[in-house]
Amino acid sequence: MPASLVILALLFAVQRFGTHWVGRAFGPVMVLWFATLAALGIPAIVAHPGVLRGLSPTYALAFAVDRPVVAFIAMGAIVLTITGAEALYADMGHFGARPIRLAWFFVVFPCLTVNYLGQSALILTDPSAVDQPFFRLAPQPLVLPIVVLATIATVIASQAVISGAFSVSQQALHLGLIPRLSVRHTSESESGQIFVPIINWALFFGVVVLILGFRSSQALANAYGLAVTGTLVLTTILYGGLADRGWHWPMWRVVVFMVVVGGLEASFLGANLTKIMHGGWLPIVIASGVIVVMTTWRWGAALVRARREELEGPLDEWLAQLDTGTVRRVPGQSIYLHTNTRTVPLALKESLRFHQSVHEHVAIVTVEVGNVPHVHHVDRVRITDLGTPNDGIVAISIKLGFNDSPDVPHNLRWSQGKSDDFAFDPKCARYFLSVLDVHAREGRGPVLWRKHLFVLLSRIAGSRVDAFRLPPSRTAILGGRVYI
């Protein structure tokens, strides 16, 4: 246990420096690891070739028919032998479907199968090896090198999980499911290499608590089994919905898929529900907490949005006031980040109130993140003239995928040549952000705790200046206070 804690502490501590060093070692080390798995299993299979008959599904079906209750319980015990493939879709956006399929069918799947067959052959030959069949497959002099290799492979797998948590958090942020977190890019050439400090240390704290609480991998297996089978079922349900509404599959095809694939996965989930009292409660508690946070944030954000629009007022009326010529225009270019083009950015109203003037060139910029991984650069920016012709006021819409960087100055460069009224000047443009100080109204009621939770979440939200990669020396933050 102490060694595990030391390795984990080092792994989480180096996340801020980037993960490219792990990425370079990922391929060679994992190929060596899976080749080792196959090499360990082959001698045992040669010594007991009859174990190859276990590849036939008839034995499993006969066992399930003969002893259904025992087979159902056994499904919960063996579920970890079929897990891992469900995580491959997390890398789909980085590598594409073809490399994932090739890696699975030609490396991972055959090597794992050979190793599992080897362990089965060893147990049939020597039943006492049931305590540690994997390491008993290896000759004694090779046990220590294999332990070292397994540790390195585990670190790489852990890095993949941590990087996945960063990526999923960023996607959830872009989709408006969680507060805006501080996201640091650790690579100048790869946009996907990011570091999210609060997620990093929350994961570290959670893993340490799990290790100290469960104290063994066997105890954690119950929690993991329920979590991964629940993930399989949820993914299948979402896939069925996408096939029906997105790909317009015939209903019979969707039903067959859900019955065959979903039915099998639901059986595994049902078998793992028996482990709730023995560690399976943990993923349920964690998932419930995440759901509460996400739903509270969306609910509170909708309340704040309504209060904010009341303060801002209609944009058309403000433009009409500007057209009267009573507002002084000064040289310069100002960019106001806003959520829509219906209301006046609060920072614009406050800036006019303080300075009694507006820049000659004004752009109201909205950043929209769609439910797609990427948007091509040429399709990201759209410019719409506002007010009267030649008044220098435009609305700029930046459309991004959930894996795209929300770097506003970088994306605004793609607006060049798309409007005669606005020419982005990256060196002189000034940026304005509208920020609200949110407070919960005092009182009683069943939603009061959600209001306080939302206020707490809004306090830990990261800086929008950092999130949008705005130059701090040319960015002003203006706003007000609202109560929900």
Q: What are the pLDDT digits (tens) for 232-246?
A: 899 899 999 999 998
Rounded CA-CA distance 349/31 in Å is 60
Rounded CA-CA distance 165/90 in Å is 10
Rounded CA-CA distance 283/277 in Å is 12
> Sorting pLDDT into bands at 50, 70 and 90, what band is 89?
low
Q: And the tokens for 34?
A: 């899976």
Tens of pLDDT, residues 390-399? 778 899 999 9
Tens of pLDDT, residues 432-474? 998 888 888 877 767 888 888 999 988 888 788 888 889 999 9
Q: What backbone phi and psi angles, to 5 degrees, belong to 175? A: -85, 5
> Sorting pLDDT into bands at 50, 70 and 90, what band is 181?
confident
Q: Indicate the angle between helix axes 448-460 and 281-312, nearest 10 degrees.
A: 80
Q: And the tokens for 155?
A: 């670190």
Buried b (16+ CB within 10 A) or exposed e, 222-252: bbbbbbbbbbbbeebeebbeebbeeeebeee
Higher pLDDT, 38 or 198: 38
Q: Indicate the angle between helix axes 197-214 and 2-13, nearest 10 degrees.
A: 180
pLDDT score of 95 more than 70: no
Q: What angle do CA 299, 301, 302 make, to 5 degrees?
A: 65
Rounded average pLDDT over 146-165: 82
Rounded CA-CA distance 179/456 in Å is 10
Global pTM? 0.76
**Mean pLDDT over each residue of the chain, to the nearest integer:** 84
What number of other Cβ atoms are within 10 A of residue 293's Cβ? 17
Query: Residue 305 half-sphere exposure, CB side, CA atoms within 13 Å?
Result: 11
pLDDT at 258: 94
Q: And the tokens for 177?
A: 């499911």
> Sorting pLDDT into bands at 50, 70 and 90, what band is 182?
confident
pLDDT above 70 coverage of the chain, percent: 92
pLDDT at 74: 84
Give the DSSP H or E segment for 298.
helix 281-312
pLDDT at 412: 92
- List all residues 6 or more positions away from 323 whose beta carbon is below 8 Å from its beta carbon: 387, 388, 391
Tens of pLDDT, residues 110-136? 999 999 999 999 999 888 888 889 889
- 296: nearest Cα among 454, 444, 445: 454
Rounded average pLDDT over 366-370: 87
Rounded average pLDDT over 301-317: 88
